Amino acid sequence: MESSYEIKTFKNKKEAEELLEKSRNRIDEIDNDLFDLIYQRTSLAKDIALSKEYLDMPIFDKGREDIVHQKIDDLCTDLGLDNEIIDQIVDMLTILNKNEQEKILRRNVDG
């Protein structure tokens, strides 16, 4: 994924205001997409939790997390993104999924 970022020069204030509004609207659209993807990702926790329970696996899978973090490192390098920040975001998503898995497994045990 290549960045389409280029330094803009403006002919007038109106042009700058239009770009600002267009960019903010696009960010809002992307935020909506991100939340939808986070919801979809978290929804998979039920399948993962039930599979891990059946396979007698712990919720925390260091091997899987290492693979995910290596993939993130590679993508960050390729895209020129701040690895440390993206790593923190992925850690938060992982925590969200683990918490959801724990809730599902507790419901299974508690009825």
68-106 tens-digit pLDDT:
999 999 999 999 999 999 999 999 999 999 999 888 888
Q: Is the pLDDT of residue 55 over 60?
A: yes
Global pTM? 0.75
pLDDT value of residue 3: 56
CA distance linking residue 42 with residue 45, whole number of Å: 5
CA distance linking residue 13 with residue 36, whole number of Å: 35
Instruction: Show the beta-strand stretches assigned E in the chain.
Output: none
Tokens of 74: 């590679």
